[in-house]
Amino acid sequence: MPHDATILPTLQLNDSRKIPQLGFGVFQIPPAETAEAVATALETGYRHIDTAEMYENEREVGEALRASGLDRGEVFVTSKLSNSYHRPDDARRAFDTTLSELGFDYVDLFLIHWPLPTLYDGDFVSTWKVLEEVRSDGRARSIGVSNFEVAHLERLAAEADVVPAVNQIELHPYFQNRQVKSWGESRGIATQAWSPIAQGQVLDDPAIAGIAERAGRSPAQVVLRWQLQRGNIVFPKSTTPARIRENFELFDFDLGSSDMEAIDVLDRGEDGRNGPHPNRFDIVPS
Ligand SMILES: NC(=O)c1ccc[n+]([C@@H]2O[C@H](COP(=O)([O-])OP(=O)(O)OC[C@H]3O[C@@H](n4cnc5c(N)ncnc54)[C@H](OP(=O)(O)O)[C@@H]3O)[C@@H](O)[C@H]2O)c1
């Protein structure tokens, strides 16, 4: 039974566009499984899909959306520039390829996936100017960044015209990334939390399990609900239909302040980070 998508909360971005606060992520979903997973997500009621050039499954995301019978305008779709294409001419071509892979004439949001400060002479500003171009010609409705640290955001603030609409960063109970989140939000940059359940690693935490038990919810639902109440945009990934549905059942309960604070104190700072540090990450697919 499809859900009523009108229950999905939206946030307003700094460019006045709206984004559903809950979406579906497709990182590490093999292309052959992507269309089915996205179809299940859309049937469940998700109206926001997060993909990337480097995930190599944009084509299947577009196919699933067309097969769903939904209008293009009903689903918010994000993609991200590959680390291979930061040089401006490459970035322009890569963006064209994203649209042709998806089979769309626009994306709702396009991001620089990683800042790569040790590559391309440390120049992500000229890359960002290409995103400004595709925003001004309407082919990306909103533009943003991912894995940008405060120093990277400061540099864009000093040298670019458009403030990113979002910064998509690793953020979960063990790594709450507070400095980057609060710096961005104080300048109107919304926070997208990637790996919102830490790829499952926080689900056995006794504090989270205890809250879940008392709330009659699953640990994943508790963590995702904490993310939403902290104002983060999330797109949990799953290829398991029951989990895809479970991760959508977040809008008929609230966590009280003591439960919220019990999750806040699980932050391990830098020790809780699972992914690479953005200052050093330099993998460029060939
Ligand atoms: N910008 C970036 O650099 C970046 C980096 C990483 C991720 N992301 C984005 O963020 C999205 C989510 O992050 P993620 O994929 O790394 O991790 P995640 O969503 O935190 O966790 C996904 C993992 O948790 C499992 N899972 C999902 N729901 C569950 C549930 N209800 N109960 C128990 N286990 C559950 C999934 O297993 P099954 O699939 O087997 O069910 C999968 O192994 C990505 O898909 C991508 O869109 C962006």
Dump pLDDT digits (tens) for 222-255.
999 999 999 999 999 999 999 999 999 999 999 9
Q: Is 246 in the pocket of ligand 1 (CB under 6 A)?
A: yes
Closest-lying ligand 1 atom to the alpha carbon of residue 246: 31
Residue 91 Cα to ligand 1 midpoint, Å, equals 27
DSSP readout, 25-65? E-TT--HHHHHHHHHHHHHHT--EEE--GGGT-HHHHHHHH
d(CA 192, CA 144): 10
Active site residue 120: no
As a whole number, mean pLDDT of residues 4-23 equals: 90
Query: d(Cα 100, Cα 138) in Å, to the nearest integer?
Result: 15
How many percent of the chain have pLDDT more than 70? 98
Q: Ligand 1 pocket, 247 CB below 6 A?
A: yes
> Does residue 50's CB lie within 6 angstroms of at least one atom of ligand 1?
yes
Strands 10-12 and 18-20: what pairing? Answer: antiparallel
0.95 cut: is pTM over it? yes
Using 50, 70 and 90 to split pLDDT, how confident is the model at 7? confident
Q: Is the CB of 235 under 6 A from ligand 1?
A: yes
Instruction: Report the separation in Å between the CA atom of 180 and the middle of ligand 1, taken as the mean of its atom positions.
Output: 21
CA of 160 to the centre of ligand 1 (A): 32
Question: CA of 226: how far to CAs of 14, 219, 230, in Å?
Answer: 23, 11, 6
Q: In this structure, are residues 103 and 136 in contact, taking their beta carbons and an 8 Å threshold?
A: no
Which protein residue's CA is at the shortest distance from atom 8 of ligand 1? 194
pLDDT, tens digit, 9 for 90 and up, residues 70-87:
999 999 999 999 999 999
Mean pLDDT of the chain: 97
